Amino acid sequence: MIKKLIVSLKNKMTKKEKEISIYILNNMKEILSLTSSEMADNIGVSQSSIIKFIKKLGFNKFGEFKIQVTKELENAKQNKDKIHNEIYLDDSLEDLSAKVFNETVKAMEDTLKTIDHKYFENVIDVIRQSHKILLIGSGMSSIVAKDLEIKLIKIRIDALHYESSHMQLMKLATMDEQDLVIAISHRGETEDVIDVIKKAKKKGIKVLSITSIEKNTVADFSDFNLKVISEENNFRSSAISSRMAQLILNDIIFLRLTQTDYEKRKKYIKESRDLIKKSDN
């Protein structure tokens, strides 16, 4: 987790913070026996710089940071961690349930810690001001895209999701600079998604992506990028947790948009519910 948090802040670090981050990554074991003052002396920075950086990572106190370091070292040593380890064929239902739950909670907590709220607010404004929105994502990411489509439609934002790349391109042909493409791809290397993004950029259409925190092609081509932290392997509970973390971002986007014009949005949601009730009767 600490490594991923540092990676997420890499482009926002001062020179001093980069020196601190390098020291942390290279001296995890040694840190456990150091005070913040001793660590500062070893790096050649002030103690206050250490404390500020630790808080930037999401820890309130240096002691809290050291506890997390201890946990991560123990996990690496044991190579068997209920939160991070793979689901085995002989796991009990109780163990399996705990692993899925814990991994999902951890992914959401880690993602929350990396959110730059000022940047996120700008993303919300871009969504709100866009005339039409095309949501793209294939496979499991399509579920997340569909969820966001439904949420945006509820508050009368013109949004459409197509899983088919052909339909995505057909829709893209009707869009212009006042519109937005939202691309959801955890690994950020899905060829069809990258192709649509490139074509959108050629038309001058803004692109917002939701991807993993690791460097990836989809994020590189996007104007805006929201990151999710989750270890994603072939047969892991994290394949579920990454999706859940993305869905939480959807909820934040929906609720923030609803806040911006609450009375009007509330009316739209009520009208939608009423129409659905009438169709059910």
pLDDT recorded at residue 204? 97
pLDDT value of position 83: 40
Q: At what angle do helices 140-154 and 238-260 cross, to 10 degrees?
A: 10
Instruction: Going from the first residue of the chain to its last (281 residues), give the mean pLDDT of each consecutive group of 10, the final group possibly shorter.
Output: 80 89 91 93 94 91 90 68 54 82 84 89 96 93 95 93 93 96 93 95 97 90 91 54 90 93 80 74 58
Q: How far is CA 190 from the centre of its chain?
A: 17
Q: Find all residues with CB under 8 Å of 129, minimum gap 6, and list them.
A: none
- Whether the full predicted model's pTM is greater than 0.75, yes or no, is no
State which H helix or E strand residue 249 sits in: helix 238-260
pLDDT by residue (tens digit) across 186-217?
889 999 999 999 999 999 999 999 998 888 99
Q: Which residue is it, tokens 């104007």?
A: 223
**How far is it, in rounded angstroms, from Cα 15 to Cα 164?**
45
| pLDDT in the model for residue 4 | 78
Dist. CA 90–CA 203, nearest whole Å: 52
Per-residue confidence (pLDDT) for residue 51, from 0 to 100: 94
Q: What is the DSSP letter of 86?
A: P
pLDDT at 262: 77
Mean pLDDT of the chain: 87
